Amino acid sequence: MCGIAGFYLREGKASLSAVRTMCDQIRHRGPDDEGYHVEAGCAIGMRRLSIIDLSTGHQPMANEDESVWVVFNGEIYNYQELRRDLLARGHRFVTNSDTETLVHLYEEQGAEGLRRLRGMFAYAIWDSRRRRMFLARDRFGKKPLYYAVLPEGLYFGSELKCLQAAGVPCDIDEEAIRLFFHFTYIPEPWSCFRAVRKLPPGSWMTYDADGTVRQGRYWRFPTPVAQTPADFSEAEVCGQLRDKFDESVRIRMIADVPLGAFLSGGIDSSSVVASMALTSPEPVRTFSIGFEESAFNELEYAAMVARQYHTDHHEIVVRPDAVDLVSRLVRHFDEPFGDSSAIPTFIVSEFAVRHVKVALSGDGGDELFAGYDRFQALEKLRKLDRLPRVFRAFTSWMADCLPYSAYGKNYLHMLSRSTALERYFESNFAPWFLRQELLQKDWMLPADSAYLTRALSEFLLPGNADLLSQALFFETTQNLPGDMLVKVDRMSMANSLEVRCPLLDHELGEVAAGIPHGWKIRDGKGKYILLRALGERLPAPLLNRAKMGFGVPLSLWFRGALRTFLWDHLGSASFTKRGIVSPAFVQQMLREHDSGRRDNSHWLWSLLMLELWFRQLDAQPARQHSAVYD
C-alpha cells in the first residue's frame, strides 16, 4: 500500500525536487520507503507502506530494459497466478512483489490486462518508448486517483494535496460545491477544484506527448437482477455465495506483516471475522469501538463474535474529549466531506495500527445485499406513482405554503415528485425544501431530477429500470466510492493502516448483482440471502437485531463538548461573508438543535466541515506553477 504522485510535461525537463514535494504531502500513506524516477518531462514517485515483499518491493519498478516504469498504490491478490503466466511467456522478474506484475502485464496486454487483476489499486505507468503516461484505478474505486490535464501537461496523485503542491490551479468548482450540498460529499468524477478530476472506478486513461488524452472503461458493475429466474436454486446460490465470500476473505489475508479485522458487531464485519477465524491457525486480532452513549454502542455484539471465535479482541470507548481531532480530519480529506462517521473510522484505525498493519473490514455489504433501511422503503415510493398528477401538484403547492418549521413539509415535497427516482433522491439525500431555505439562490441545483439524471448518467441505469435496481446501482457505483470508500481510505491511511474489503471483491460483487431482489429483501429486511448463506456462523442475537449505523453521538456532542466550536465557526463573519448560505437560517438551525426541537446534526456537521475546509484553503500559500521544472 502506498501513495503515488507525478507529472508529465509536454515540453521542458521535469524536476526531481517537485515530485518529491508532491510525495512529501502523502508521507502518512507510506512512511516506510520512498522512490522516484525522473526522465525528460516525466517524474513519478511513491511513498510506501510495506505489506508484501518487505525486502525487495522498492518502487518505482521497471521492466528488463527499463523502458516501462510503474508506481503503484494497492494490492493485487492474484499476482502469483499472473506472475506464473508471465514467466511462462518469457518475462523476467527480479522481485517477489505484486507491483512488478503490473509492468509485465502492461507490456503483454496494455489496458486489456486490467481485466485480469483482482485487487484494489491505483497506479501510473510511464512508457518511455511511446512517450505515454498510463493511469488506472480499481473496479469499485477503493483506491483514489486524482488528475489534472493542463496546457503544459498531466499531473496526478493519490490525494489532492499532491496536485496542490505542484501548483495546479485551485480555483473552486462551484458546481462541485452545489453537489456537495446535495450529497454532503463531492461525487465522482468532480473534485472541489475546476482543474482536477477523479479517475472513475473501473477506468484507465493515457496521456501522450502531444497532449492527447484517451479514457476507457474495463469494467462496469452489472445491472442488478430484478426478477427471480425459473431455475433459481437457493441452496446452489448460497453455496456459491459462501464459497466466493470465503475465497475473497482468504486471498486478503496474504501479508508479510501483522493482520487483523475491524469488528463492529454488525452482520458484515462479523461474517468477515468468522471466515478469517475458520481459515487462520492463530487467533484473529479484532478491533471494536464503542461510545458511552448506549444508542451508539455495539461492543456487546462485537464481544459475542469475539468470544465465539476466540479472537485476540481489543476495545476502545470514545468519549467526547476525543472530538478534538475534528480539525485534523479536514486536511486528510482535502475537500468538503460531510460524513461524521469519519470520526470513529479514524479512531478505530488509530487504535488498530498499534497492533497490526493491515485490517479487513465489512464495507460493501449494505450496497451489494440491500442492507440499508432506505432500500426497504423504496416500494412505498414506487406506489406513489399511482397518485394523480393533479394531487401531486397540489401537495407541492401546499408544501411551498408551509413554513420550514412544519415537520411534515419534507414528506409533502417528496410526495409531489413526479417519478419514484426523484422521490428516492429527495427522501435520501438533501431535500429540496431544506436547500431552498439554506442556500443563496446562486448555489442551488435545479429543482427537478433532470439535472441529476444528466450529470450522474454514468451512475444510473436506463430509464425503464426498476427503482430498486436503480438505487442499488447508484449506491454501489457512486455513493460507495464517493462517500464510504473515501472515508475508509483517508482515515485508515492517515494512520498508515491498510484496510482491505473482502465484500468488495469484484467477483463477489458480480455474484451479488445476479441475485434477484426478492432474495435480498424478504419480510421487510435486507441481506436475506447473505444470512441464509453465512448466518449459521454468527451468534443468534446478531441475526434479528435492528441495523445500527456506524455513527457517533454527534447530536449530543453539538449540545455539549462541540457546542462552542460549532457556534463559533457557523456564526463567524468569514462563514457569512462567503455568500453561500443564509445566515439567518443557519442560526435557526443552530437554535433548533440546541433546544432539542430538531436534530440538525447531520447538516450542521456538513456546514462545519465546509467552513473548516474554506479556512484551510485560505491559509495555504499560493504556489508557483513553474516549480515542476528544473
pLDDT in tens, 3-19: 999 999 999 899 999 99
Taking the CA of residue 350 as centre, how many other CA atoms within 13 Å lie in the half-sphere pointing to its CB?
Answer: 15
| Higher pLDDT pick, 309 / 547 | 309
Q: Which amino acid is at 184?
A: T
Q: How far is CA 377 from CA 218, 468, 519, 530, 582, in A?
A: 33, 10, 16, 20, 32
Q: Is the peptide bond before 200 cis (omega within 30 degrees of 0)?
A: no
Compute φ and ψ for 136, nearest 5 degrees.
-150, 150
Single out the residue of 545, 526, 493 nearest to residue 375, CA to CA: 526
What is residue 622's predicted lDDT score, i.e. its pLDDT? 63
What is residue 564's predicted lDDT score, i.e. its pLDDT? 92
Compute φ and ψ for 358, nearest 5 degrees.
-135, 140
Compute φ and ψ for 333, nearest 5 degrees.
-85, -25
Write the burial class of residue 412 (CB in 10 Å: 0-12 exposed, 13-18 middle, 19+ buried).
buried
Cα four-point dihedral sign 551, 557, 558, 561: negative
**What radius of gyration, in Å, describes the C-alpha atoms of the chain?**
24
Catalytic hit among 2, 192, 238, 501: 2
In angstroms, the CA 52 to CA 79 distance is 11
What is residue 626's predicted lDDT score, i.e. its pLDDT? 45
pLDDT band at 432 (very low <50, low <70, confident <90, very high): confident
pLDDT in tens, 131-177: 999 999 999 999 999 999 999 999 999 999 999 999 999 999 999 99
In angstroms, the CA 49 to CA 27 distance is 9
Q: How far is CA 66 from CA 10, 125, 128, 388, 541, in A?
A: 21, 12, 9, 68, 58
In angstroms, the CA 440 to CA 435 distance is 9
Mean pLDDT over all residues of the chain?
90
Query: Which grid coordinates are listed for 615?
Result: 479556512
Residue 579 CB coordination number (10 Å): 9
pLDDT band at 401 (very low <50, low <70, confident <90, very high): low
Active site residue 42: no
What is residue 620's predicted lDDT score, i.e. its pLDDT? 80
Does the pTM exceed 0.85? yes
> Quick one: average pLDDT of 477-504?
96
> Quick one: average pLDDT of 50-70?
81
| Residue 546 confidence (pLDDT) above 80 | no
pLDDT in tens, 298-347: 899 999 999 999 999 999 988 766 667 888 889 999 999 999 999 999 99
| Residue 510 confidence (pLDDT) above 70 | yes
| Residue 577 confidence (pLDDT) above 60 | yes
pLDDT in tens, 436-475: 889 999 998 876 667 888 888 999 998 788 989 999 999 9
The distance of Cα 463 from the centroid of its chain, to the nearest Å, equals 26
Helices assigned H by DSSP within 377-520: 378-383, 389-401, 409-416, 420-428, 432-438, 450-455, 467-474, 485-493, 506-513
Single out the residue of 75, 74, 76, 140 nearest to residue 510, CA to CA: 140
Query: Which grid coordinates are listed for 546?
Result: 435492528
pLDDT band at 416 (very low <50, low <70, confident <90, very high): low
Question: Mean pLDDT highest for which of 260-264, 329-333, 520-524?
Answer: 260-264
